[in-house]
Amino acid sequence: MSSQIVAIKPITVPAPGRDLDLQVKVTAPVSGRNLPVLVFSHGNAWSMDGYEPLVDRWAAAGFIVVQPTHLDSRRNGIAWEDPRFGTIWRVRISDLHAVLDGLGGILAQAGDLEHRADRDRVAVAGHSWGAQTAGTLLGARVFDADGKPGEDFSHPAVRAGALIAVAGTGDTLTPFAAEHLPFIRPDYSTMTAPALVVAGGKDDSPLSTRGPDWLTDAYHLAPAPKSLLTIADGEHTLGGIAGEAVAETTDEDPARVALVADAVAAYLRAALKLDATDWTALTASGDGTWSLIGK
């Protein structure tokens, strides 16, 4: 299979009741068949045009990557104080469902991908808020104000996932997070699908008072099978996964970005029962800058 890739955008996805059109970008290898599909949910304020360092590498590794632009994208101008903001977390989940439910139509508008995709091998991934969004399709729920688990948003097409810098439990939120992001109350006890959790050892989130270990809850609190990749010096953007030299990156490191991208690709290829060679090699390696555990 060629390592050359192609990107098609924008593709509009049917999403009744949404304030704005749901648009996606599709990135894929220019050749190859029976390609697995990876739906990626961006972090707060980003869009389908971000995360090229990850997405391009995943496509080169043989994935068809579909990236929706969620309502909280900075291009939509919906700020914290906007009355719509409090419900965006649910719209984000609906966006991913709309993409998966409309996957055939999306692929049909992206060249010949409708005939080159393996629709039985579908995964989800996300970064930060996008990771919490993706996690709900793997079975995680959101506790309500009374501490009761909310609706089941899991999707039957999703076989596995990867959660990068995903929020932990909501019992240690900072005052800002408690006021503006009360939906950061994940219940990982029901997240049964296989998943890789990627965390930075120096990701000291301003949303929690607990420190970097908060970002590992999805691994520790979810049932097996799960794996946890901890990158010792990684901060929230893990070397710059959203793009080269972007303002949010505080730990610029292209090698770290490549590690995240390759680890996710290797894990998902193994979890989707395509080829476990790269994942097996990764689990047997390590140079002291990162660690990998599983259950």
pLDDT digits (tens, 9 = 90+) for 83-104: 888 899 999 999 999 999 999 9
More confident of the two residues 140 and 180: 140
Q: What is the pLDDT of residue 79?
A: 81
pLDDT of residue 146: 78
CATH for 5-294?
3.40.50.1820
* Percent of the chain whose pLDDT exceeds 90: 83
Per the DSSP assignment, residues forming a β-bridge with 158 are 122
pLDDT at 1 over 70: no
Work out the average pLDDT over 138-152.
90
Identify whether the C-beta of residue 111 lies closer than 8 Å to the C-beta of residue 7: no
Contacts of 163 (CB under 8 A, 6+ apart): 125, 126, 131, 132, 134, 135, 138, 195, 196, 197, 198, 218
E strands of the chain, at which residues? 5-13, 22-29, 35-41, 64-68, 117-127, 141-142, 158-164, 186-187, 195-200, 226-231, 290-294
Q: Would you state the pLDDT for residue 194?
A: 98
Q: Which residue would you say has higher pLDDT here, 273 or 145? A: 273
What's the count of helices (H) and strands (E) in the chain, helices before strands? 9, 11
Read off the pLDDT of each residue in 17-23 and give the average, rounded to a whole number: 91
